[in-house]
Structure 1
Amino acid sequence: MPQASSARRRSLPPSEVFSGLFAPSLPARRKAAAVLARFDVCMESFLELWTLRMQAAGYLSFTTARRDDCVAACRSFLEPVLRHAGAERPTTFETLRENADGWADALLQAGVRHCRRGVSAGMYLGCFKTFIMALEDALALLPRLCSCIPADHIPAATEFLRLHAHAFEVLWTDAGLREMTSVQQPAPAAAGSPQDELLRLLTLEKCRFENIFNTTSDGVLVMDERCRIATANRSLRQYAGEGIEGKPVWEALRLEGESPEEFFRYYPIGQTVEVSPFGDGLFFRLSIASLGGVSLASAGEYLVLLTNITPQVLQREMMEEAIGRHAAALLEEKRRLEELDITLRTVLSTIHAERDSRRDELSSHIRRVLLPALEQIGREPDAAARASLIRLVRDSLRSSLADSDDGRPQDGLNRLTLAELKVCRLVRAGHSSKEIAGLLNISPETVQTHRRSIRRKLGLRGHDTQLAVHLLRNGGETA
């Protein structure tokens, strides 16, 4: 057998011989490196598969790991594996077993921490095996999730992964357990003791509240009495960024204040304030509560809650804009109605003025024409002359009534005097000025004066329209 082993070593290429043990070839390591470098593409699948593997093994009810812890553990294991795949010297089980570069230290320390929390060494090793199986399952899915990874690269990556897994199992059984024993105080209680169960339940409860703390959409932080941030959840870090622990809250959130006294003056405890600390059109409702009222252990600490109210603010602004437009329209309508009211008042005032003017004209006409005509009728002994005067009074009344019905004078006859009406009747009958002078016992010059006054009052200009023709067309029974 030794001779056969020596013969096999002599038949292998020099690159595959190291410390007397078989090592993956350089092409295989390059394939493994190409695959493992893209493992984040299947990280979500890995988390789901690991959960199923843990549940099938009966370990899921004992774990208290958070999602971020699982991702960190995966990357912590794959990082040295990827580094070894890209190294110049080939990696063997023997070199990994020596742990000269400390590649397994993080896993060993994690195992020690789990054992201190009541997890047995065997259970930790079993969880590690489910971890490796979930990694292999996720690698098998990678070519379907990432087209740049050839399917024939997966076996090389899987074998290189298993090589590290076997080496760690030996390390955990040997050096890891010895290190854990050296740091342990008195022997731990037997597995399944009440203390272990209490510790597990407390850890689960802590993880549950941490999950709530980090999954809420509101930004949450805890600060001390000096307003320095102790911790913040994931939602708040999305806006304020990482590394805000230890900073004053007004600096991390870009709020008013440069001291605790000034900060609490701007943002009193128990009151809600609308703020926009991060710009980009984002609005938040900020409120502060004292944790001392919840727990004596939290005295001097404060909870700061930032609730994103950007949709409500935008809706409010839209409503304010719509209300503003409606108010402007109402003001414009009010102004138009006021103008209309002024116009109506002006029209009514004009109507009243015209009515008063018309009443004054009618009164004047009665005094100037009708009353003198009635007096003259009473004194006139000639029956023909009385009949003529009666016709004059009747026509004048008709003209005045017609003017009142229409609201405007018809032909200006109501403005004529009794003498001018007599002249109009005779002109319409076809008498000349000389004949009218004889009939009325006045001079021809007086007749001409009456004729000019009549033409002026009737609105006749020039010589285009004869007075007799106008009286025949519009005079009714005046003549």
Structure 2
Amino acid sequence: MPQASSARRRHLSSSEAFSGLFVPQPQTRRKAAAVLARFDVCMDSFLEFWTLSMQAAGYLSFTTARRDDCVAACRAFLDPVLRHAAAEQPPTFETLRENAGGWADALLESGLRHCRRGVTVAMYLGCFKTFIMALEDALALLPRLCPGIPADHIPAATEFLRLHAHAFEVLWTEAGLRETAAARQSVHPSALPPQDELLRLLTLEKCRFENIFNTTSDGVLVMDENCRISTTNRSLRQYAGEGIEGKPVWEALGLEGESPEEFFRYYPIGQTVEVSPFGDGLFFRLSIASLGGVSLASAGEYLVLLTNITPQVLQREMMEEAIGRHAAALTEEKRRQEELDITLRTVLSTIHAERDSRRDELSSHIRRVLLPALEQIGREPDAAARRSMIQLVRGSLLPLIDGDDRARDGLDKLTLAELKVCRLVRAGHSSKEIAGLLNISPETVQTHRRNIRRKLGLRGHDTQLAVHLLHSGGETA
């Protein structure tokens, strides 16, 4: 083996042969840098692989690491690896195992903290190996998750990771041994707490968290990936009853669904749904959270939280009822307003129609009576006749004034010739005298008298025309 190693060294450059181990070429480092720069794309896959690896190795039940802690550990390792891949001077195994630049400080400190909490050096080293395997498995998926990464770049990144992983294993073994030796020297065996005392402290801590778990007024349960209930608190048992552990959550709480897939379709993780699983007018806000997103040890478990919102629901229903009554009142008021609008439009339409009719009547009266009278006045040479005709025109205009009594007598309906006859009848002239004064025949005068009586509403012979005209007053007649 030494001879083979010497033979291999003769084929390497001086920089490559410095440690007697593989030193990545610049092209390899560039490929590794391109791959590792996109690792966040496969971070979720890495966490899933690491959980499976830890479980297979038997370490998962001993860890309390949260998801955020696992992501931080991943970046604490990958950040210096990526920095070395982009550096001009390539790292060697010797420079890495000497922790040049403190590249492994964060991981070493994390490991020492775990040892102080009871994790052995060997167990932490085993966890680190599952960590590296999960990184490699996640890198293998990266070309499918990120099409911009060529598949032939993955071996270069994997090889570069392994170089750092080998160096860290040496660093950790040395640091762990130093920590163990220092702990043995600083603590006398007699000062270590006995096993019974440790169990007592653990029991007290367990009771403390159980008290918190059972004191909350919200119903809380934990279920596995098959939606079977494993743990419940006191508040939930008060609502759902005892002995629901081991049952499917939809059966124990009377919720929709008959399988995990169907249940999660009705109640998606991270969303809030209002339910009434126990009847009796009780309403709850149901939400589901994945415990695997908090701790790797709880992967495949879910926490279901039921918050009693009955008072809020009752208040909401009262408000909805009040709003409904108010809306009904507004609808009724709107209906009455619409009916009033229709009535007003009808009245306005009638007023407009009457106004148009009145205008038509006025126009007809002006054309039929006033304009001919004015023309005749203009042609009349006799002053007395003109005054008489002016009086007739004035008498014809007065009935058009609102509130004038003569408008109700029907005088506004008479023609100019009929108005002349009315004036002479009122003055006491007989039909024969009127015929002579107006230079018309007595038969024409009789015709005018009949038309006047009809327009004035005089029926039969009980009311004389002269008497009626005298009682109507004014100068028009």
User: Common fold, TM-score beyond 0.5?
Assistant: yes
CA–CA separation in structure 2 for the residues paired with 1:462 and 1:209? 117
Which residue does 2:239 correspond to in 1?
239
Which residue does 1:385 correspond to in 2?
385
Give the direction of change, closer, same or farther, for the CA distance of 1:452–1:207 in structure 2 (3 Å limit).
farther
Give the direction of change, closer, same or farther, for the CA distance of 1:450–1:209 in structure 2 (3 Å limit).
farther
Give how far 1:212 is off. 1.9
What SS is found at the alignment partner of 1:273?
A: strand
Give how far 1:390 is off. 1.2
Supply the AA of the counterpart residue of 1:224. Answer: D
Supply the AA of the counterpart residue of 1:398. Answer: L
What SS is found at the alignment partner of 1:454?
A: helix
What SS is found at the alignment partner of 2:304?
A: strand
Supply the AA of the counterpart residue of 2:227. Answer: C
Which residue does 1:316 correspond to in 2?
316
How far does the alpha carbon of each residue in 1:165-209 deviate from its partner, in whole angstroms, 9 at most, with x for none? xxxxxxxxxxxxxxxxxxxxxxxx999936444433322221122
Give how far 1:461 is off. 4.5
How far does the alpha carbon of each residue in 1:277-298 deviate from its partner, in whole angstroms, 9 at most, with x for none? 1222211110001111222222
Matched, 1:451 2:449: yes
Which residue does 1:273 correspond to in 2?
273
Supply the AA of the counterpart residue of 1:318. Answer: M
Which residue does 1:171 correspond to in 2?
none
CA–CA separation in structure 2 for the residues paired with 1:309 and 1:354? 66
Supply the AA of the counterpart residue of 2:286. Answer: L
Matched, 1:353 2:323: no
Matched, 1:213 2:209: no
Which residue does 2:362 correspond to in 1?
362
Supply the AA of the counterpart residue of 1:384. Answer: A
Moved more, 253-262 or 463-472: 463-472
Q: How does 1:416-431 map to 2 (within 5 A)?
A: 416-431=414-429
What SS is found at the alignment partner of 1:247?
A: coil
Give the direction of change, closer, same or farther, for the CA distance of 1:328–1:215 in structure 2 (3 Å limit).
same
Matched, 1:326 2:337: no
What SS is found at the alignment partner of 1:422?
A: helix
How far does the alpha carbon of each residue in 1:134-154 deviate from its partner, in whole angstroms, 9 at most, with x for none? xxxxxxxxxxxxxxxxxxxxx
Q: How does 1:15-414 map to 2 (within 5 A)?
A: 193=193, 195-400=195-400, 402-403=401-402, 409-414=407-412
Give the direction of change, closer, same or farther, for the CA distance of 1:470–1:315 in structure 2 (3 Å limit).
farther
Give the direction of change, closer, same or farther, for the CA distance of 1:201–1:413 in structure 2 (3 Å limit).
farther
Give how far 1:462 is off. 5.1
Give how far 1:318 is off. 1.4
TM-score by length of 2: 0.55
Supply the AA of the counterpart residue of 1:214. Answer: N
CA–CA separation in structure 1 for the residues paired with 2:460 and 2:226? 106
Moved more, 373-382 or 316-325: 373-382
Give how far 1:235 is off. 1.5
Give how far 1:342 is off. 2.5
Which residue does 1:476 correspond to in 2?
474
**Count of residue pairs brought into register by the alignment:** 289
Give the direction of change, closer, same or farther, for the CA distance of 1:352–1:209 in structure 2 (3 Å limit).
same
Give the direction of change, closer, same or farther, for the CA distance of 1:440–1:296 in structure 2 (3 Å limit).
same
TM-score by length of 1: 0.55
Give how far 1:219 is off. 1.0
Give the direction of change, closer, same or farther, for the CA distance of 1:206–1:351 in structure 2 (3 Å limit).
same
Supply the AA of the counterpart residue of 2:454. Answer: R
Give the direction of change, closer, same or farther, for the CA distance of 1:259–1:462 in structure 2 (3 Å limit).
farther
Supply the AA of the counterpart residue of 1:419. Answer: A
Give how far 1:421 is off. 0.8
CA–CA separation in structure 1 for the residues paired with 2:463 and 2:273? 89
Give how far 1:449 is off. 2.9
What SS is found at the alignment partner of 1:289?
A: strand
Give the direction of change, closer, same or farther, for the CA distance of 1:201–1:425 in structure 2 (3 Å limit).
farther
* Structure 2 unmatched runs, 5+: 1-188
Which residue does 1:143 correspond to in 2?
none
Matched, 1:415 2:410: no
CA–CA separation in structure 1 for the residues paired with 2:274 and 2:397? 83
How far does the alpha carbon of each residue in 1:320-348 deviate from its partner, in whole angstroms, 9 at most, with x for none? 12222222222222222222223222222
Give how far 1:369 is off. 0.8
How far does the alpha carbon of each residue in 1:418-451 deviate from its partner, in whole angstroms, 9 at most, with x for none? 0111122123223344443343333444333323
CA–CA separation in structure 2 for the residues paired with 1:471 and 1:198? 132
% identity of equivalent residues: 91
What SS is found at the alignment partner of 2:255?
A: coil
CA–CA separation in structure 1 for the residues paired with 2:275 and 2:418? 91
What SS is found at the alignment partner of 1:231?
A: strand
Give the direction of change, closer, same or farther, for the CA distance of 1:225–1:395 in structure 2 (3 Å limit).
same
Higher RCO (C-alpha under 8 Å, 6+ residues apart): 2
CA RMSD of aligned residues (A): 2.8
Which residue does 1:47 correspond to in 2?
none
Give the direction of change, closer, same or farther, for the CA distance of 1:204–1:432 in structure 2 (3 Å limit).
farther
CA–CA separation in structure 1 for the residues paired with 2:464 and 2:244? 108
CA–CA separation in structure 1 for the residues paired with 2:222 and 2:466? 111
CA–CA separation in structure 2 for the residues paired with 1:297 and 1:450? 121
CA–CA separation in structure 2 for the residues paired with 1:279 and 1:396? 89
CA–CA separation in structure 2 for the residues paired with 1:275 and 1:234? 19
Give how far 1:458 is off. 3.0
CA–CA separation in structure 2 for the residues paired with 1:229 and 1:451? 113
What SS is found at the alignment partner of 2:270?
A: coil
Which residue does 2:101 correspond to in 1?
none
